[in-house]
Amino acid sequence: MRNKDFILKGHICYSENSETLTIMEDSYLVCVDGISKGVFREIPEAYRNLPMKDYSGHLVMPGLTDLHVHAPQYAFRGLGMDWELLEWLNTQTFPEESKYGDEEYARKAYRIFAEDLKRSGTTRAAVFATIHVPGTEILMEELELAGVTAYVGKVNMDRNSPEYLIEETKASAEATRRWLSDLKEKEAAGNGFRHVKPILTPRFIPSCTDELMRLLAEIQKEYHLPVQSHLSENFGEIAWVKELCPEAEFYGDAYDRFGLFGEEAPAIMAHCVHSGEREIQRMKERGVYVAHCPQSNTNLSSGIAPIRRYLNEGIHVGLGSDVAGGHSLSIFRAITDAIQESKLRWRLCDDSLKPLTVEEAFYLGTMGGGSFFGRAGSFLEGYEVDALVLDESRMRHPQELTVRERLERFLYLCGDQDVLHKFAARESIF
Amino acid sequence: MRNKDFILKGHICYSENSETLTIMEDSYLVCVDGISKGVFREIPEAYRNLPMKDYSGHLVMPGLTDLHVHAPQYAFRGLGMDWELLEWLNTQTFPEESKYGDEEYARKAYRIFAEDLKRSGTTRAAVFATIHVPGTEILMEELELAGVTAYVGKVNMDRNSPEYLIEETKASAEATRRWLSDLKEKEAAGNGFRHVKPILTPRFIPSCTDELMRLLAEIQKEYHLPVQSHLSENFGEIAWVKELCPEAEFYGDAYDRFGLFGEEAPAIMAHCVHSGEREIQRMKERGVYVAHCPQSNTNLSSGIAPIRRYLNEGIHVGLGSDVAGGHSLSIFRAITDAIQESKLRWRLCDDSLKPLTVEEAFYLGTMGGGSFFGRAGSFLEGYEVDALVLDESRMRHPQELTVRERLERFLYLCGDQDVLHKFAARESIF
């Protein structure tokens, strides 16, 4: 149902910035052509005729952004959890990803992923597919159907990968061009995707030769594509990159040498758990987006990223589920995981970096990641309206709660299954 | 419904010890008078006439034990999560606990707690009430109604507590005696609890004078009561105990000096995050049960307990939700939290202690904590049968999964709401 002009009534909760969480009780969010006109205690004269969706008593908040998720790994979420990163890639990830060369399997698996994402609180996502072009297009179709605004990447990998899941260097670049020109053609014919766009996706440095990176950089310039990849997740991985790219100053420089680190177009780098000083400064200079994936970093024993430091530096940070390094697709869960892990980091590693607050983690899950998509993840005037109506009525309590308390409890104890209605991509999703 | 003799058919999963998780597919758990006669591939001749509950295709596992939970704190679970332990006690915990002097409020709040526990996977629990005797008895009534086998403690606290939640030393001991004799009288009159028993509960050393501890030790000897308390959770708390009890060799010794550390009767000590060598050796000597509460230890920035070390030492360990230090009542969640936190501890603190495996954490949540209640938490022959029939059908997947994979996924991604049927305390609970 197209539903671009409306007013939402409820307890409206949204971030203004990383520190300020605004809660407007019994208020009105005015949405015109999918864009917020602001939140008001009383409906302004000019909007009195708009249809009203009355969710009085309910919490209403912006949709969540998943800044890093591997769609083909959704099938094995919550399995093989006793492995570390590099072993886990070989035993779990690569064998499953190889199946997505089969279009029938890809359709079946990606439909499950997209339908579950549709029912979740996530409205925007940056998604890894696999090396397979038809499978990647199937994923894009399924996400479009699910009403998720997404960047989707055909993965590139031409070295250090099993023979059943590897590309020749030139063939990898050519396949990427074929995919992109196919999307262009569809668009030109009026059959393009409305909410799903391509993003360059070299898997990570160990999987991509310099020559492939050079070819991808050419493609980036030609198509003006953003890029997503992985950075400084795990000590073994970092040592490996150092060995593979002795000429790079640090891990991130191995992307930056090719202009694939935010110089030409925005870049999302997942993890950044162990980034050193020079890498952090380069991330800042290039406007890199950190996709913080606390659950995955815990499951794979990677460590805890210094998110407080990144916020202090003014680096962009959003949250990622990193399914299936993370087992849960829920960005609500990522919000509380981010707080919890920051507390352990403060206690165990560095007590100069204070734990994240509820306000800050809420920001990361909404506006922090949302800003990669433009003006998204808030209800400030001019923002695209992705909205969730929450229902935490199953949480029983003997005492009165404030709206702020209800929101905090929702984040910790409720989740995707407690989203009553979802508005995204200028439509009512459910 | 009393239901003491039956056979459960399904995929039967249970621990034999901390390392061995047995999975018997399409098998039969034989239960006679509430006690397991074993799990069989075919029904033994002698039991052919027992009624069969056929849950073919479903996972069946032992009920979970929550070895440390504060019932009055359930009301504010998931609230005020940005505090550390000692501040959190003063801003959140003590004000709420003071309300349980009001019997009407206690009934309302404890009913919510007990009903939610009833619907969960937890079948056994060691529970803190408050200082109030009538409120404590109300909690016992509600847990009995909910079919939870529980130890419940009237809390003692006679120092360093707000004036609205403190007892005079002698009055605290007398109230405890009044409570216990009341329970005895009810029992003698045939109105006793069937599954709920008292446990001595000095809150923690900072809240209890030596004189109170001495009086409680007398009560323990007279009534042969087990004891539950807190130990070495937080650095500030440990320093405080050192100051308050200069004559104690270490925190645990402050209990042991009075015989309240497992010498006279079994003792549960919650947390043990920062126990030193001598404390660990004493815990081992005294057979102390560690209630490991990973979620709470994270939320309150306490740290991560060395559970691998405790298992290596042969110390008893179970899991606790520690609501409301922990926000979730789910012991399924505690199982995966325990694994996750052990990975971070391995990465960040001490790589000589390997992370916990799924098998080990499953053991902790079932048999590890269950053994505090006797032969509970397994389906080995002679164990009391608490059983959960699981339903993870909402977890969609494109590929085939083994039973072991289904169980692992359940632990990570399903939970209390996915328990289809529960048998406990020789009854069918739902």
What's the rounded mean pLDDT across residues A54-66? 98
- The identity of residue A99, as a single letter, is K
Q: How confident is the model at residue B379 (pLDDT cuts 50, 70, 90)?
A: very high
What's the rounded mean pLDDT across residues B87-104? 94
pLDDT tens digit string along A274-283? 999 999 999 9
* Distances, alpha carbon B309 to alpha carbons A344, B268, B306, B427, in Å: 19, 18, 5, 37
Instruction: Reduce the DSSP state of residue A192 to 3 states and report it.
Output: coil
pLDDT tens digit string along B294-310? 999 999 999 999 999 99
Q: DSSP character for B73? A: G
Contact A343 B301 (CB under 8 A): yes
Nearest beta carbon to residue A348 from set B76, B348, B411: B348
Q: How confident is the model at residue B2 (pLDDT cuts 50, 70, 90)?
A: low
pLDDT tens digit string along A195-212? 999 999 999 999 999 999
Give the mean pLDDT of chain B: 97
Contact B301 A355 (CB under 8 A): yes
pTM: 0.98
User: Number of A:B CB contacts under 8 A?
Assistant: 131
Q: How confident is the model at residue B88 (pLDDT cuts 50, 70, 90)?
A: confident
**Over 90: is that where the pLDDT of A85 sits?**
no
Separation of alpha carbons A379 and A386, rounded Å? 8
**Over 80: is that where the pLDDT of A84 sits?**
no
pLDDT tens digit string along A336-374? 999 999 999 999 999 999 999 999 999 999 999 999 999
Query: Of B204, B308, B213, whose CA–CA distance to B260 is shortest?
Result: B213
* Distances, alpha carbon B89 to alpha carbons A157, A356, B80, B207, in Å: 53, 20, 11, 12
pLDDT tens digit string along B135-166? 999 999 999 999 999 999 999 999 999 999 99
Torsions phi, psi of A89, nearest 5?
-60, -45
Query: Which residues of chain B have a CB within 8 Å of the CB of A335?
Result: none
Query: Of B164, B158, B161, whose CA–CA distance to B214 is shortest?
Result: B158
Q: How confident is the model at residue A2 (pLDDT cuts 50, 70, 90)?
A: low
pLDDT value at position B83?
Answer: 81
What's the rounded mean pLDDT across residues A382-411? 97
What's the rounded mean pLDDT across residues A388-407? 97
Strands in A3-88 per DSSP E: 6-15, 21-32, 35-40, 52-62, 64-70
Q: Tell me if chain A has a CB within 8 Å of the CB of B397.
A: yes
What's the rounded mean pLDDT across residues B345-359? 97
**Over 60: is that where the pLDDT of B1 sits?**
no
Instruction: Reduce the DSSP state of residue B1 to 3 states and report it.
Output: coil
Separation of alpha carbons A426 and A429, rounded Å? 9
Phi-psi region of A265 (alpha: psi -120 to 50; beta: other; left: phi over 0): beta
What's the rounded mean pLDDT across residues A257-281? 97
Query: Of B202, B198, B146, whose CA–CA distance to B173 is shortest?
Result: B202
Higher pLDDT among residues B82 and A375, named by residue: A375
Residue B40 to chain A, least CA–CA distance (Å): 27
Kindly indicate whether the ipTM for this predicted assembly is greater than 0.85, answering yes or no.
Answer: yes
Separation of alpha carbons B217 and B210, rounded Å? 10
Q: Tell me if chain A has a CB within 8 Å of the CB of B396.
A: yes
Residue B78 to chain A, least CA–CA distance (Å): 5
pLDDT tens digit string along B308-328? 999 999 999 999 999 999 999
